[in-house]
């Protein structure tokens, strides 16, 4: 996710592959077959057993899924049989995560009933696509835990599925090295192509996202000016996703836009339209 220090995605993939080097002779590798580096990682595993999972490629663990009011309904195909799961987390990326977790669980000896119970009992981690009531009847989606290009794409996909007039509040992504300007521009372009109505951006790198998004995007120098603009423009029913790297402290925007409530835990945001 963070390119600074590794030079490229290839460098990150090589470093991630070191995880497999530590497997003992009886170790079991679990690999995302949809990842373009899957073959490289499989080669590092050698003769040790491997389980694969994927949504698009052929794999040991696959799934058909659809969004519903509380997350995703999954028909999971596994070596042990077909499993139906109501996953209380939104987005395709979390379906893929569920497949990976299931593959690891089976490798460790778990059965389908245990996997179903575990997946359906999950809840959103704070700052990861957590929906909260907003001021003036808006809805705030708090995804401020951290940010990188792939997690921005996943969050935007969830937001776009939920609303055709949604707003994205973006803070800079950190640790991207020389690719930073290009990757911020790609987030702006992806948001525009996904049908996001407005982009509000904070941080020097996010200027690139504003330029790529075009009409409907604004850049702010301070969090105070950003919050003031949002407070002035927010309306009933507005869906607002807030996301950025930890260094940007985008939770300050969440606090400004959230309606007062006794329960600060929030609930997982639905992925359905």
pLDDT computed for residue 192 by the predictor: 98
Q: Which of 101, 48, 102, 43 is nearest to 77 (CA)?
A: 102
Do 106 and 56 reside in the same domain of the chain? yes
Strands 81-87, 71-78: parallel, antiparallel or unpaired by DSSP?
antiparallel
Exposure class string for 117-133: b at 16+ Cβ within 10 A, else e = eebeebebeebbbbbbe
Task: Convert the pLDDT of each residue in 133-168 to its tens digit.
Answer: 999 999 999 999 999 999 999 999 999 998 889 999
Q: Which of 157, 125, 154 is nearest to 142 (CA)?
A: 125
What CATH code is carried by the domain that includes residue 100?
3.40.1190.10
- Of residues 42 and 262, which shows the higher confidence score? 42
pLDDT computed for residue 3 by the predictor: 60
Do 88 and 107 reside in the same domain of the chain? yes
- Any domain includes 273: no
pLDDT computed for residue 26 by the predictor: 87
How many Å apart are CA 32 and CA 205, to the nearest integer? 31
Number of domains within the chain: 2
Do 46 and 98 reside in the same domain of the chain? yes
- Rounded CA Rg of the chain: 20
Confidence of residue 4 (pLDDT cuts 50, 70, 90): low
Task: Convert the pLDDT of each residue in 101-140 to its tens digit.
Answer: 999 999 999 999 999 999 999 988 899 999 999 999 999 9
Tell me what the mean pLDDT of segment 252-263 comes to.
88
- Any domain includes 150: yes
Task: Convert the pLDDT of each residue in 199-220 to its tens digit.
Answer: 999 999 999 999 999 999 999 9
């Amino acid at each position: 996710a963070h390119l600074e220090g590794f030079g490229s995605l290839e460098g990150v993939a090589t470093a991630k592959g070191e995880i497999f080097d530590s497997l003992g002779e009886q170790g079991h590798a679990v690999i995302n077959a949809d990842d373009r580096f899957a073959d490289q990682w499989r080669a590092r595993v050698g003769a040790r057993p491997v389980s694969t999972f994927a949504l698009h490629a052929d794999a040991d663990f696959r799934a058909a899924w659809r969004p519903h009011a509380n997350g995703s309904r999954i028909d999971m195909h596994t070596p042990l049989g077909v499993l139906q799961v109501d996953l209380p987390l939104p987005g395709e990326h979390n379906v893929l995560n569920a497949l990976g977790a299931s593959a690891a669980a089976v490798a460790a000896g778990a059965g389908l009933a245990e996997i179903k119970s575990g997946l359906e009992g999950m809840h959103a981690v704070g700052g990861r696509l957590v929906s909260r009531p907003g001021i003036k009847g808006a809805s705030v989606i708090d995804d401020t835990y951290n940010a990188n290009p792939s997690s921005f794409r996943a969050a935007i996909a969830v937001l776009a599925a939920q609303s055709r007039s949604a707003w994205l509040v973006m803070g800079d992504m950190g640790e991207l090295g020389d690719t930073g300007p290009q990757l911020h521009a790609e987030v702006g372009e992806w948001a525009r192509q996904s049908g996001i109505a407005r982009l509000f951006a904070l941080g020097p790198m996010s200027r690139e996202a504003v330029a790529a998004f075009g009409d409907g995007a604004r850049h702010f120098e301070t969090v105070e000016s950003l919050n003031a603009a949002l407070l002035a423009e927010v309306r009933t029913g507005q869906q607002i996703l807030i996301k950025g790297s930890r260094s940007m402290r985008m939770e300050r925007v969440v606090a400004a836009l959230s309606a007062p409530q006794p329960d600060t835990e929030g609930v997982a945001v639905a992925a359905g339209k």
